Structure formats: C-alpha cells, structure tokens
Chains A and B, each alone.
Chain A
Amino acid sequence: MSSGNLAREEQKLAYKLLIPAFLILITIAVYPLGQVFYTSFTDKTFATGREASFIGLENYKTLLSVTIKELPPVVDENTGEQKIGEDGQPVFERPIRVLPRRPELYRPVFEFSFFSNRFVVGAINPDFLTAVWNTIIFTVFSVFFETLIGLGIALVVNSEFKGRGAMRAVMLVPWAVITVVSARMWEWMFEPTRTGFFNMIFERMGVGDGNFSFLTTTELQLPSLIAVDVWKTTPFMALLILAGLQLIPNELYEAARVDGANKVKQFFSITLPLLKPSLAVALVFRTLDALRVFDIFQVLLSQKRYSMASYNYFQLIQARKMGLASAVGVIIFIVIFIFAVTYIKMLGVDTDE
C-alpha cells in the first residue's frame, strides 16, 4: 500500500468515527442553537402569540451600550466654591441629572475620579454589565483555586498510601451532592443568624456577633459563592488531573531519580509538562462551567446579584424577553469561545499537526 493510500484510509476512518458524535449534534444541537442565534436578532416575547419582528442588533446594543459623562461639581451659592459634603468630600452632581435619558435611559454603573474630576460610567443595562463583571471575577478566582487545590489533592492521592481507595471516594462527595441541594445546604450554613454554621463558629471564635449577612453584604457575596464553588468542583479538577498523572509513565520518574533530580525538579520538568494536555482540557471545561454558572447564583443570590446565566434566566422567565435573553446567551457563547481558544493556544496543546 502506498503511503498516500494509507493516509486516505486513515482520513476515511476518522470521518467514520466522527459520524456518531455529529449525528447526535445534528439531532439535538443544531436547531436549538440556531434558534438562539436567530431569536437574538428579534424582539420575541416568550410564550405569547404576538409575532416577533426582526430588529437587527438592537438587543446587543441595549445590553452593551456604555457612556462616560463628567459629573459637574455642585457649587455653593453663597461662597461660589464647590460644596463640601458632610463626610468632608467635595460634592458632585448626582449621576441621574447628568446621564442621558433619551432615546434610552442610562443608569450609573460606577463612578471614578480622574485629576480631581469626577466621572460616571452609565449603561442602558447596568445589571447585565455587572453580571458580566461578577461572572468573570467569579470564574477567575474559583477556577484558580480549584486548579491549585485540585492539583494539590491529586498529587497527594497519586502517591502510595493506605486507604487510597477510600480517599478517592471521599474526593467525589462534594461533586456528587446534587447541585440544587448543595446550594440550599450552603445557603443554610450562611444563614444571617446563629442558626447558620458560619455565624455560629465565627461568633464562638470571637469574630463578629453572629450577625454576618454573607449573602446580602456586597463585599461578602462573591467570596461566599466562590467558596461554595471551590468546594463543590475541586473534585472535578482533582480527578481529571489524577487521571492525567496516572498516564505519566513511571520510568520517566525513575530515570530522573537516577539523574539525581529532586522531587521539586521532577515536578517542573516531568509532571507539569506532561500534564499540560489534561490540565488544559480540565481548565477549558471548568472555565466553561464557571462562566455559565447558574444554580448557586440563582439559589444563593437570586435577584440580588446576577451571573450572566442567572440574568439570562430571569430575563427569560420573569421578563419574558426571549430576544434579549438569547442575545445574552450569544454573548456568553462568545466569551466562552474566547476563553477556550486562548487556553488552547496558551498551553500549546493544539492537536493539529
């Protein structure tokens, strides 16, 4: 057989092997995904007989429009100087007086100072922009900690010791607790009184008076959620990394030991490089899940603070803005795509030769 023939055979086999996956994909994915893309360009209302009309990029414009306006200082009429507030800070005009109202109402997202001038960033849809921000912060921190702790656990479990089998089962427990229930479980531990575990233990340790409101205090919300997610999904990371570790041939370590490389050196010269592909895949799926995070935001923060997906959910179910919700879906899609491609390129695990 000529090599060209062989290559053609290989190619044919590859396509044949891909048939089942693509068949499934065509049956269940093409229509729903296509529908989301299409709907995102319309003003469709969910569950209504009214005809939807095509509105182009209007939904995207609503979601992403941002403006920056300077806040003029408030002048004291008696002195002609800028007013000083009770807190000793100079007083500026309220954003509501400055931000445009027509054709769309812009609401403040945040304010910042620059050379003693005060600016406000406004958006038509501040909830969505903060949802994007929340989700990205959530993703970066939770994926970082999950990878770190997951790697640590995997390395520990990968060594020989008694009770390793039981340990592997223990590892799975957080991941196995049904997601909707685990969110409720944590909500219960976060109760703002001493019926909640954290308030009880903090108070006992002399921190606070048992009245921390973890889920309504702005500074505590995201850290609490990140803690929940890290607990819940570290096992996912650990198991994938563990499986990757087990594929590394022992001979490599033996050879390194003969060469006198210590454990740390072995880790950086053998383990980490060889772990790259499995780590990359684990990271891709973790990040993808974190960017779509829904359950814990819905249960723990509901409408106090949104993730992209929970914003999407409430827009669809409560406001029934299916067009807008689809546009949110597409934006999530794009963000995830960017993350996925970046990982693959950064970690250099492109499978194309």
Chain B
Amino acid sequence: MRKSLVLALLLSMILVVSGSVFAEKAEITIAGGSVGQELELTKEAAQMYMEEHPDVKVNVLDTPDLATDRLGLYLQFLEAESPKVDVYQVDVIWPGDLAEHFLDLYNYGAKDMVDDHFQAIVENNTVDGRLVAMPWFTDAGLLYYRQDLLDKYGYDVPQTWQEFERTAKAIQEGERAAGNQDFYGYVWQGDAYEGLTCNALEFIYSNGGGTIVSPDKKITINNEKAIEAIDMASDWVGYISPPGVTGLAEESARKIWEAGNAAFMRNWPYAYPLGNVEGSAIKGKYDVAPLPAGDSGKSAATLGGWNLAVSKYSEHPEVAADFALFMAGPKVQKLRAVKGSFNPTIKSLYQDEEVLEASPFFGSLYEVFTNAVARPSTATAPRYNEVSRLFFQAVHSVLTDEMEARTAIEYLELDLVDLLGYEIGEPRQP
C-alpha cells in the first residue's frame, strides 16, 4: 500500500516536472572552460543537443581557466544557491568537496553508462554511493622526451628513476659542453601549488610510498619510500633541473621545453600538439612515454581531467541531467577527441580509428590513462584542498632546502591527523 503510494507520488512528480519542462522552452546553462577550442567544442555539442531537443535552450558560459579563480566563482554561486548555472564543469578533485550541491546522477539514468567509462574516475566521482559527476575528459602526467637527443647520446627511454637521472645528467652535460648553457635535463612542476601535488604523487606512488591518504581513509604519507622519493626529487633541483624549478608550473616548464632547452619534461597531454607548431625548436623531435618507475616497479601518472556535475539548485534538473549525460556520452566525447585531442573517458573510444588518427599516443599510452592514480580527494572530502596545500607546502619546503624531508613529513602527518582525524596506516601499492 505504502509502496504504491510512493510510486504514485513519484509518477505524478515526474509528470509535473516533465509537464513544466515541455510546456515552455527550458533554458539551462553550462559553466565550463574558456579556452578557445574547448569553448567552441562545448558550443558545438550544445548545438547538437538543441537540434535533438528543440524545446531546450542551452547557454554556454565561459569561466576562468585558472582553477582557483573558477572554483572561487563556483563557490559564490553555490553559497548563494543560485539556479543560474545548471551544469558545472568540475575538476577531478572537486566532486568530493562539493558533493552536497550536486544531484545523484544515478537517479537520472547514469547507471547504464558508467560501465563504459574508466573505473578510477567513476570511483573518484562517487561520494557515499552517489554519482555526483559524470566523467567528461581525462588527463594524466606523461614523460616528454627528446628522441633526437636520446639517439645522439645513445640512450633508451628510461624505465626507472635511476636510469632516468643518469640519462638526463649525461644529455645535460653533453649539450652544455656543446655550448647551450641554458640546457637542463629535466623540467617539471615544482612550484607550491596543486601541480606539485600531482608531480610528487607520481614519484612517491611509483616508489611505493602511497597516495598520502589511502582510499580506506588511513594517513599513509609518513613512510620511508615517500621520504626517499622526496629526497630524490630534491636532489634534482640544481642538478638535472634548473634551480628555479621550484617556481615552475605547466606553462613555464613548457616554454623551456619548447625552446629546446630540456631533454625531458613532465607535463599533461595538452603540450603534445603545441610542440609541433611552426617555428618550434623541437618540432618532430619528441615523443611521450609513461613516467619512470621507482621501487614499486611500476610507473605512476596522476589522474587529472574534468567532469560534469548537475546543480541541485537547478530549475530544470531533469533536462540538465539529461544534457550532462549527453555531453559525457560517446558522440560528444568522440567529437572532442577528434577535433580537440581531449582524452575520452570512454574505454572503447581508445580503439576508434578516427580518434587514434588524431592523437596516435592515445593508443600506445592507453594503460597510462586507465591506470592513472587519483589524488586522495574523495577520501579526504571535504578537506582535500587543505590536505593538498599541506602536502605541497611540505614537499616544497624540502625542494627549497628549508626543511629535511623527514621533519617535513613528520609535521605533515601530525597536521593531517589533526585535520582529518583519521588513523595512520600502511601505503597502498600500485
């Protein structure tokens, strides 16, 4: 009796909702990337949706590319419980923190879709059993290397950090002796910001040092493997990396790399097409590989990327959710992969010929993308940003020689215990 009552109520609600939806043109707004081509592709996809659903109007809103600025803006909207934005493009580290503002997409038909997507991202976006965001495109840290220089000095693409250090040093010395005083072996992101968390997570996790906080909510950072990995990175500074690497972010590293002044670079896939533009000093001379492995014997790449979440303050939740699922679906993801080299989150697209033709390394690095390691954003929600800040500041203080790795990590552990109240545990192995 009660069941049927609930059912009837639900049905009538759906009727009312859909009734109001179809009565007039529903207008929804998606807030997302501002970047030229990215914005164009979003608009194109929105156009496709509107053609299929003539009763819906989709507005595309561009927001700052700088993640902090974008987050600040979103927070203002969410604090005001604003219905003005229906679909948010959210960073892979935000779902945990912002979960309370988003609808559970499982209630809107996402169940049938998620199996096609990368497991790691779906897990990352699932908070207390609710799917708060749909995977849209992914990112992972890659090792860019100069094929011509490896050939010149007779090295293979390094598989371990030890090999890597040796190779980088040898090439750096060779190039410097040949007259390029600005040449360095390795550029990466060592500035005190989220990018350092990504970089450090890679060398720590690949060395068997875990993920700061494990998925089962144990604080694992204070271990020998992690300290060893941080010490290794701090030795790079001024040795195979410029002293200023502690101030480098993605773009500043890419500039050194593209000027032909580095043998290796750690960066996201976006740098791949940019190095091949006309006038670039490294055009056609480089390729990408998985980052070297540490003591764990496995390489690690930090999971990046963006997802689509539907605001629970939306006036048209049904339409907004349907639109989000459409955007994250195979048709739009393929369009974005072919036209904009955005890494799809749908597994089958990595076998798609058109996609592979546009970005050949999608195929060879499939493993890197599927095995990318997530930052502990869901395990530490809603305090991930703070965890990350404490972490990158600790690592940065070691890189700049302000603190010993051991002391910095000890403090970090104390801070994390205070902040999260979790227990201390053993690191998870890849």
The residues of A with any CB-CB pair to B shorter than 8 Å are 45-49, 94, 96, 101, 104-105, 107, 191-195, 209-213, 215-216, 218, 302-304, 314, 316-320
Contact = CB atoms under 8 A, between A and B. Distances in A.
Given A303-B389, A320-B97, 18 more contacts: A94-B407, A192-B242, A192-B244, A192-B245, A193-B182, A193-B242, A195-B255, A211-B243, A212-B244, A215-B247, A303-B392, A304-B191, A304-B192, A304-B247, A314-B389, A317-B71, A319-B383, A319-B386
B272 interface: no
Given A101-B414, A191-B252, A192-B248, A317 B75 contact: yes
A321 B274 CA distance: 39
Contact of B193 (A47, A194, A302): A302
B393 A303 contact: yes
B410 interface: yes
Interface of B: 68, 71-72, 74-76, 78-79, 97-98, 100-101, 181-182, 191-193, 242-248, 252, 255-256, 259, 261, 382-383, 385-386, 389, 392-393, 396, 400, 402, 407, 410-411, 414-415, 418
B385 A193 contact: no
Question: 4 closest A-B pairs (Cβ-Cβ)?
Answer: A192-B244, A213-B244, A318-B385, A216-B247
B243 A192 contact: yes
Nearest to A314: B389
Given A47-B101, A192-B248, A96 B411 contact: yes
Contacts of B192: 302-304
Contacts of B97: 320
A192 B389 contact: no
A317 B181 contact: no
A145 B181 CA distance: 37
A47 B79 contact: yes
**B contact patch SS:** helix
Nearest to A304: B192
A218 B392 contact: no
Contacts of A314: 389
A303 B259 contact: no
8 contacts: A104-B418, A195-B255, A213-B247, A302-B191, A303-B393, A304-B191, A304-B192, A319-B385
A76 B243 CA distance: 36
A193 B75 CA distance: 36
Contact of B415 (A105, A191, A317, A319): A105
Contacts of A49: 100
A88 B78 CA distance: 57
Listed residue (A49, A215, A317) with the most chain B CB atoms within 10 angstroms of its CB: A317
Contact of A210 (B182, B247, B389, B418): B182
A316 B68 CA distance: 11
A45 B98 CA distance: 12
